[in-house]
A and B are shown apart, each in its own frame.
Chain A
Amino acid sequence: MEKDKEFMPRILAFLCNWCSYAGADLAGTSRIKYPSSILPIRVMCSSRVDPLFVIRAYLNGADGVLIAGCHPGDCHYDKGNYYTRRRFAMLKKIMGEVGLESDRLRLSWISASEGPRYAKTAIDFTEKIKKIGKNTAKNEIFL
């Protein structure tokens, strides 16, 4: 019973096909344990993530949104993740300025060989979101 009450966040994770998704795969095949809070969506590049996706996820009640891509310099498309970083900085700024919880967003670089790093990211982010609590946008009617 006690266990049911514990808040398990729902975190949307946009994982780039070439690095982070493979990293998540590696975490799985290496049998590293991480929370079931993450809902992965595979994208071809982290720069495919339109800020609108993130806003929509947030308004639909996602407790956290993770964007993960190749380390800077390692992008499969040479420079996609640099654009991601700029866009992410902008989005975080805008959310902060209008008083929304920009802490619910996270950008991480996870390579295909970093299964443990992926698991650690999932664990850390889940813990952080647990501390922040539920996203109340889920209950808003007049969005």
Chain B
Amino acid sequence: MTKTLKINKSTEQGVLEFLKFLLESDKVNGVFILKKINGDEAVAYSLVANPEDLKDAVPFYPLMPVNAGKLLSRFTLKGSTKKPVVAVVKPCELRGFVELIKREQGNLENLFIISSTCGGVYPTKMSVDRTIEKNLSKYWDAVKRGESPSDLRDACRACEEFIPYMADITVDLIGKSDIDKQCTMFLNTKRGEELAKDMKGEFSEKELDRKKLDEICERRGVEKKKLFDEIDAKMKGMEGLINIFGRCIGCHGCMRVCPICYCKLCEFESPNSEYAPSDYESELGKRGAIRVPPGTIYYQLGRMTHIGISCVACGSCDDVCPVDIPISIIFKRVGESVQKLFKYVPGKDVEEKIPLITFEKEEFTEVEE
């Protein structure tokens, strides 16, 4: 059983009350949270120290402007703050952050994490079109029923990892019909329990309603299969790859927003990936013609080997792709197959090693010849 804290307010209000309490009682020095920009439909992750400034905070807004894992990594890269900070993030953002910590790109010291069961987010394009606000009531109705609106990110509709790992506090959100009236928080860790101490509310012990969550997971699994089948039908061999990735303009936006890609100098932007005139000549001699610059398939396959093992399928890459390549589903598809190979769930446990930097002496003998 897990300790819980129940507050008789809407889930969002309850969490905001709680954050206010944490700031006012000096338990934390700051809150890392999604905040509306001047009441507009745009939101940005912000650090808030003044309880008053929480008024525009929208912890569960269905939008992920940037994967917060990447932001928390930048926040903690050079060490931790002296006083604790609490961050409210989505499960895949937390998983991305954990994967970055494993790559020594951040740490959890003096950082409390609040996350929730997640209903998914809309593509950022909808914040540009200003169509999120009018969809909000539809979104929350669907979340209460544990369903996914069809215009969510593909990666979200196909997401089966919507229960956070490694969160100090988990907010019960999806498939819960009374989120307008009640706020239930699960205090998963000792740290989480200490945080909630002295907060006004009802403390008890409970478990997440696994049965209901399993049903949601099953529904999303069906959606996932549909999306995977679509991709599989297209992604057949070199011809399929060229058909899918041929329209890539090489902006490398997918790499820049990816919470796993962190290299300061990316191999694909380094001189290693530049073609000299003599390289073009040799390519021409061999092929008769060559795309300029070459390297689209190389970049995509290369990135699969680099991040496939840790892809948390947040869908940020889809959001930024200017030519609408369904990158997130492709990477989720390939990533999951690799993760399954190593029985690895990225972002599940910060102590677990990335499979490629560890080994067992007796394994994979089937790949040797």
Contact = CB atoms under 8 A, between A and B. Distances in A.
Interface of A: 51-52, 55-56, 59-61, 72-73, 79, 82-83, 85-95, 97-100, 106-109, 121, 125, 136-143
B240 interface: yes
28 contacts: A51-B302, A51-B305, A55-B305, A59-B298, A61-B286, A82-B359, A85-B359, A85-B363, A86-B364, A89-B341, A90-B305, A90-B356, A91-B305, A93-B337, A94-B301, A94-B305, A94-B308, A97-B333, A98-B241, A98-B334, A106-B369, A107-B367, A108-B368, A125-B369, A138-B286, A139-B287, A141-B291, A143-B295
Interface string B352-369: 000111011101100111
B305 A108 contact: no
Nearest to A71: B368
Interface size class for chain B?
Answer: 35 or more
Nearest to B308: A94
B263 interface: no
Contacts of A61: 286
Interface of B: 235-238, 240-242, 246, 267, 286-291, 294-298, 301-302, 304-305, 308-309, 333-334, 337-338, 341-342, 355-357, 359-361, 363-364, 367-369
B286 A85 contact: no
A70 B321 CA distance: 43
Given A98-B235, A98-B241, A86 B287 contact: no
Contact of B302 (A55, A72, A99): A55
Contacts of A52: 267, 298, 302, 305
Contacts of A142: 242, 246, 291, 296
Contacts of A82: 359-361
Given A87-B356, A98-B235, A99-B235, A92 B308 contact: no
Given A82-B361, A94-B305, A59 B356 contact: no
B290 A93 contact: no
Query: Across chains A and B, which 8 residue pairs bring their CB atoms closest together, nearest first?
Result: A82-B359, A99-B237, A51-B305, A99-B236, A89-B364, A141-B289, A143-B297, A142-B291
A99 B238 CA distance: 7
Nearest to B272: A52
A112 B236 CA distance: 40
Given A82-B359, A83-B359, A142-B296, A94 B334 contact: yes
A98 to B, nearest CB: 6
A83 B342 CA distance: 13
Contact of B359 (A79, A93, A109): A79
Given A98-B301, A107-B369, A90 B359 contact: no
Nearest to A128: B369
A108 B365 CA distance: 10
A52 B356 CA distance: 15
Contacts of A141: 287-291
A99 B242 CA distance: 12
Contacts of B297: 59, 143
A73 B286 CA distance: 41
Given A56-B298, A139-B287, A97 B240 contact: no
Contact of A97 (B334, B355, B356): B334
A137 B286 contact: no
A138 B287 contact: yes
A55 B301 contact: yes
B308 A86 contact: no
A78 to B, nearest CB: 11
Contacts of A139: 287-288
Contacts of B355: 86
A85 B297 CA distance: 24
A103 B235 CA distance: 18
A72 B287 CA distance: 40
Contacts of A88: 364, 367
Nearest to A96: B337
